[in-house]
Amino acid sequence: MAYNDAVEVFRDTEYPMMKGKVYLDHGGSTIYAKSMIDDLSKNLMSNLYGNPHSASDPALLSGHMVDSIRIQALEFFRADPEHFDLIFTANATAAIKLVGESFRDLAASNPRKPSFWFGYHKDAHTSIVGVRELSNENHHCFINDDEVEDWLNDQVGATGKLLNREGLPGLFAYPGQSNMTGRRLPLGWTKRLRECSAPSHQNTYSLLDAAALATTTEIDLSDPDSAPDFTAVSFYKIFGFPDLGALIVRKKSGHILGWRKYFGGGTVNGLTVMYESSVQRKDTTLHDSLEDGTLPFHSIIALGCGIDSHRRLYGSMKSISQHTSFLAYRLYHGMKSLTHYNGVPLCVIYNDPERSTYGDATTQGATVAFNIMRSDGTYIGHHIVEGSANAKRIYLRSGGLCNAGGIASYLQIEPWQYKRAWSAGYRCGDTKVEVINGKPTGVVRVSL
C-alpha cells in the first residue's frame, strides 16, 4: 500500500480532460490516457484495415492484428494460450450471457430433465443473477460465504438440504469483487470446486465475474488447475477504452460452450437453408466457433494500444493495486471519522469488517459505498448527494448499482419491502423515491 508519486508527473499531460474535475467512478469505466488515443490514431492513419472475413491485404492485416492482440490480452492476465482461449465480446455481461446460454442449450438436450443447476453469490451483479432465468427454476442464491463453504464441503449447512442432488450439469458463479462495496471474495473457491469429490460437484463448472476485480488488481491465471473455468472481464474498466469485453475460457472446460445452438456469420464452414437444414461449425479454436459476425477489429486494435500505454504508464497492476489501496484506506477512515455536532455519523459506510479490511488488497478493493445522514439520523437521498457532487465537478455513482443482493443485505431490505416499493411506483434509477419508510433505496459509490 503506497501512493504512486509518478501519477502527479503525467496526470496533466495524459489526462487533460480531468483538469478541474474529480472523477470517482472508475468502477463504471476508468479514464483513457491521451497517449493511448494518440497511438491508436497514428496506427489507424498509418495502416489500412479491412473486414477480417475477407482475403485482401487489409483484411489479412486486421486478422493478424486480432490474433496477436488476443495473445497479448491473455498474457496480460498471465493466461497461457496453451491452456486458455479468449473470446472477444461486447462487455462482461455478453461474456456471462454466452456461458449461460451454452448451459441452457446443453440442458435442453436432456428430454427427461431439460435443466441445469445454477448457484450464485448474493453479491453478484445483475448480469450474473440473470442466468438463473435460463436454468428452468433450478437455481440457488448463496446468502453468505459460509453457505458457499458448506456447499463446497458437501454439507447441508443453513439451507437444510444438499444442493443439486440430481447431479445435473451445474454452474457456480460469483464476483471476484463486489461492484457495490468492493469486498473481494475468495478466489480459491474455483480450485476447491474442481477438486471436490462429491458427485454433485463433479459436473459443476465455475464462472468468475472479474469485471470489478480486474480494475485495480492483477488477474493471475498462470495456474490452469486453480483458474476458473470461465472468467468475464470488461477492458474499458481497466484501460478506459475500448468498449470491449472478453470471456477467458479454460480449454479443458471449453467443450461446454460447444453446446450453444446459435451460430452467426464467421462461425460456420458451411450450411444448407433450402429443403433441409444442416450446418458445419468451425471447430479449429473455441473463438472461431463463438465470435459471431464481424469482430470489432478497430476496437481490438485499440485494445492493443491500451495494454501498451497502460504498461508504459503504470508498469504493472501491482503498482495500481498499491496506489488505489492507499487512497481507499485514507478515504474510508477519513469518512468514518466525520460526525455532526451531536455525534451522529455523517456517513454510513457499507462494508463487511469481518471479511474485508481497507488497506488489505486481498480482501478489499478501492471502493466505498455509503449514504449521508442528517444530524437527526435521517437519510439524504443518494441522488441528491450525486447531484450536489456533480455541481462541484465531483463525479460519483449512485443508485442500486445493479447489485440487488448487496443492496438488500446491507440496507436490510426484505423482499416484501421491495415489492411494496414497486407497487408504490419505485423503479431502478428513480430519482423521486429515494427513501421509503426511513430506509434508503440505494447508495452512493466512490470507486478509485
Q: Which residues are catalytic?
A: 402
The residue type of 224 is P
Between CA 160 and CA 174 the distance in angstroms is 22
Between CA 10 and CA 419 the distance in angstroms is 49
- Per the CB < 8 A criterion, the answer to whether 103 and 169 are in contact is yes
The residue type of 382 is H
Q: Using the Cα atoms of residue 290, residue 294, residue 297 and residue 303 in order, give the sign of their dihedral.
A: negative
Three-class secondary structure of residue 231 per DSSP: strand
- CA separation, residue 146 to residues 58, 142, 150 (Å): 54, 9, 6
For 160-229, strand residue ranges (E) read: 170-175, 204-209
List the end-to-end C-alpha distance of the chain, in Å, as a whole number: 14
Between CA 126 and CA 429 the distance in angstroms is 14
Between CA 380 and CA 347 the distance in angstroms is 10
Cell numbers for 171, please give them.
454452474
Q: Which of 394, 339, 397, 402 shows the shortest CA–CA distance to 368?
A: 397
User: How many residues are recorded in the chain?
Assistant: 448
DSSP state of 378: P
Between CA 208 and CA 211 the distance in angstroms is 9
- 283-291: long-range contacts (C-beta < 8 A, 24 or more apart)? 283/258, 285/85, 286/85, 286/87, 286/249, 286/251, 286/254, 286/257, 287/70, 287/85, 287/86, 287/87, 287/88, 289/257, 289/258, 289/263, 290/87, 290/98, 290/257, 290/260, 291/87, 291/88, 291/266, 291/267
